[in-house]
Amino acid sequence: MKRLFAAIITFTFLFSAFAIDGAAQTRRKKKGTKGLATNIAIVAGSTAAGALIGRGRNGAMIGAGAGLLYASSRKGTKRRYANSTTRRVAKIAGGSLVGAGTGAAIGGKTGMLIGAGAGLGATYLYTRNGKKYYRASNGRTYYNKNGRRVYL
């Protein structure tokens, strides 16, 4: 009886040692738009909150602009986009929306145009820092400063 039990345990360990791991055989495909749904939810939620808190359309514009500025500045967005031009365009659009909403709340349609121009110009100048972001072979994002890599 003892020999049979020892043989069963030995064969169990032997078979489990040579068993092929199923998880190691599958390749997982990375999603191309990781975190995009989160950014869309942030912008949509801030637009709805701005419309409820503010005065309808004007508050919605301010909320959408603020949400777009926040969503384009998140750490996940910085990891996802190696090229900073996409994030910069999103920030400029968000700044112009905030300016348009504020201008519309103060001065109507003319104020909306002036505010949009002011917000566009201000965020353009703010984001114009000369840094171009690249992605290293290990997946980390960096920019060059004085000939050296600065990782984010």
Which residues are CB-neighbours of 95 under 8 A, at least 6 positions away?
A: 65, 69, 119, 120, 122, 123, 124, 126
**What does the pLDDT average to over 109-121?**
92
Tokens of 60: 């919605």
Asked if residue 30 is part of any domain, the answer here is no
| 4-63 pLDDT per residue, tens | 767 777 767 666 666 665 555 666 666 666 677 888 888 899 999 999 988 788 899 999
Tokens of 130: 């000369």
- Count of domains forming the chain: 1
Confidence of residue 121 (pLDDT cuts 50, 70, 90): very high
- For residues 50 and 56, give the distance between their C-alpha atoms in angstroms, rounded to a whole number: 8
- Please report the pLDDT score of residue 115 as a whole number: 92
- Please report the pLDDT score of residue 126 as a whole number: 83
Range of the domain at 65: 38-151
Whole-model pTM: value is 0.62
H or E segment to which residue 143 belongs: strand 141-145
- For residues 106 and 92, give the distance between their C-alpha atoms in angstroms, rounded to a whole number: 21
